[in-house]
Structure 1
Amino acid sequence: MKIGDYVVRKSYGKDVLFRIQEITGRQAVLKGVLYRLLADAPLDDLEEAKEPEEEEFRGGSLFPRNRLNLPGVKPAAEPYFDVPGTVLHLDGDRTYLKKSIAVYNELQIPAEGYHLREEEMADALTKLLPRVQPDIVVITGHDAILKHRFDGDKHNIRNYKNSMHFVQAVRVARAYERNRDMMTIVAGACQSHFEALLQAGANFASSPARILIHALDPVYIAAKSAFTPVRETVNIYDMITHTVSGLKGMGGIETRGNFRMGLPRIGSES
């Protein structure tokens, strides 16, 4: 086996697809392909697997415009134009960031993305927020409950790999814009401390049941928020139950949307 190979772990019932990121001796560092997960395993516990289809990575039918119920799909004769909410996306994983930006571009959502280590995100936001002035901020990457020091208390944030870094970043973002309806924050990754992220000021966060979340679940929530009209609140139940992870992986609070219509559409006849 070599770096870049797709593998599964035999001792875990081959439940998660990984890609080998690093090999040291007989030990491999693994990165989840579909889920935001970092792990390590002995090489003899690994079994080669096939590369996933692009549609599988994207969560099947997660992102078609009709699935998102986007209000921007209108008869061509109407003289309106769409103004979806703008997104600032910080990601601790370069591969997931690239996939996320591709989705935003496909949906024509204005977005800027930055690959940063989770501990760098809070400081970066102090400079990025005044410049980008986003409607939606996504703060994600990798996280996990640290088994080697877990004391049995899932409410103790010290038991998490990066939840505190995400909390600090959320606090910076919420200090910049205190109104949760003026700027929507989506935060967290696999097994993140859901309650702490909401208390820090996030509108939507992972992970209520401390489970793995799909790599694009935060993007789906950002997209739904970007295309929900400002006069309406996002349908929380409908949105979260349509993520791959569902109610165990994502949660949130009532929040207004960020979509506006404009008039007239350039090129339309008067």
Structure 2
Amino acid sequence: MDIGDIVVRKSYGKDITFRIIDVKESNKGKVFTIKGINLRIIADSPEEDLEIIPKFKLTEEEEVFNRKVNDSIQKILISRNDFRNKYRTLNKSIKKNLDNDLAFGRPGKILHVDGDAEYLEVCAKVYNQLSLDVVGRTILEREQPNKIIDVVKEVKPNIVVITGHDAILKGTKDYMDLNNYRNSKYFVQTVNELRNYEPNYDDLVIFAGACQSCYEAILDAGANFASSPSRVLIHCLDPVFLCEKIAYTNIEKVVSIKDALENTITNTKGIGGLQTRGQYREGFPKSNYI
């Protein structure tokens, strides 16, 4: 086994595929650092617990996740198209003198900060599919608290995603101790920095966390949404589907938690949060020069 190999863990029923990203020698032999292909988890594993699998083979659980991802994308696109058609019909019947073709809208701008460049690339493709205005930055979790404000000042987003890898350390009994998580303390510190910069929850919408993150501590720090209420593994694209709902909901409307999470993959087990105002602004008239 070597860096780059695709593996599953025997002790977990071979439920998730991982990529080996590091190898270290210990008194008991080789220890491999592995990260989820689709789920935002990083873990250490002894060599005897790993099994190499073909590069493009998916587990049964991941096949289910992939179907959910495709279903979510289709639901979003169909729903958005239905909304546009209803909006046009309403304007034609109520405001006959208004040329609706001159109306336009601007979804909220997203800054997606990710500790993993590969995850960010996957997310960027789906953001693009969903016509979202997004700027991505790869910043290691431990560096995010010190760098986030400079990036926010540069990008000027309405919505910020802070994510990467996380995991509960093996044998943990105290789920509120941040020392029992790989990266939750960095997510908490980053959210604190953001809230000191912009205290208003509607002027800057924040999602923070990854797999099994300390949900309560991240929310207490000031996030609108966080992972993971049930300490489950969240899907790589969960933040994308959450942000889409906020970015494309009219600023006059407060988004319910249920609506915000309806298209996410892990739903309320993986993500929770607070009522948050949408970030979509309507405009009129459209420019003749664009």
Instruction: Give the alignment's TM-score, normalised by structure 1.
Output: 0.89
| 2:10/2:51 contact within 8 Å kept | yes
Task: Name 2:134's counterpart in structure 1.
Answer: 111
Task: Name 2:94's counterpart in structure 1.
Answer: none
3-state DSSP class of the match of 1:125? helix
Task: Note the aligned Cα RMSD (angstroms).
Answer: 2.5
Task: Name 1:29's counterpart in structure 2.
Answer: 33
Identity, % of aligned pairs? 43
Q: Point out the more displaced range, 256-265 or 51-60.
A: 51-60
Task: Name 1:140's counterpart in structure 2.
Answer: 163
Q: Structure 1 residues 123 and 34 mapped into 2: Cα distance closer, same or farther (>3 Å)?
A: same
Show structure 1 runs of 4+ deviating over 6 A. Answer: none
Task: Name 1:233's counterpart in structure 2.
Answer: 254
1-structure distance, mates of 2:184, 2:269: 17
Query: 1:37-48 to 2 correspondence within 5 Å?
Result: 37-48=41-52
CA drift of 1:264 comes to 2.4
Q: Point out the more displaced range, 193-202 or 34-43.
A: 34-43
| 1:71/1:227 contact within 8 Å kept | no
Task: Name 1:17's counterpart in structure 2.
Answer: 17
3-state DSSP class of the match of 1:63? helix
CA drift of 1:99 comes to 1.2
Q: Point out the more displaced range, 136-145 or 68-77.
A: 68-77
1-structure distance, mates of 2:206, 2:164: 14
Deviations 1:51-107 (A, max 9, x none): 268992982322236358337963586322220000111111111111112222222
Query: 1:252-267 to 2 correspondence within 5 Å?
Result: 252-266=273-287
CA drift of 1:142 comes to 0.9
| 2:169/2:181 contact within 8 Å kept | yes
| 1:72/1:82 contact within 8 Å kept | no
2-structure distance, mates of 1:57, 1:138: 24
CA drift of 1:267 comes to 5.1
Deviations 1:94-146 (A, max 9, x none): 11111112222222211111111111111111211222111000000111112
1-structure distance, mates of 2:253, 2:80: 13
Query: 1:70-85 to 2 correspondence within 5 Å?
Result: 70=80, 74-75=84-85, 78-85=101-108
Q: Point out the more displaced range, 159-168 or 236-245.
A: 236-245
Task: Name 1:126's counterpart in structure 2.
Answer: 149
Matched, 1:210 2:231: yes
- The code of the aligned residue for 2:233 comes to L
- The code of the aligned residue for 1:4 comes to G
Deviations 1:148-181 (A, max 9, x none): 6x3x211112211111110111011111111101
2-structure distance, mates of 1:262, 1:161: 44
1:88 to 111, 116, 138: 111
3-state DSSP class of the match of 2:165? coil
1-structure distance, mates of 2:264, 2:164: 17
1-structure distance, mates of 2:165, 2:225: 17
Task: Name 2:217's counterpart in structure 1.
Answer: 196
Matched, 1:243 2:264: yes
| 1:21/1:31 contact within 8 Å kept | yes
The size of the alignment, in residue pairs, is 266
Unmatched 5+ stretches in structure 2: 89-99
| 2:116/2:164 contact within 8 Å kept | yes
- The code of the aligned residue for 1:199 comes to D
Q: Point out the more displaced range, 108-117 or 23-32.
A: 23-32
Task: Name 1:160's counterpart in structure 2.
Answer: 181
1-structure distance, mates of 2:177, 2:81: 41
| 2:68/2:265 contact within 8 Å kept | no
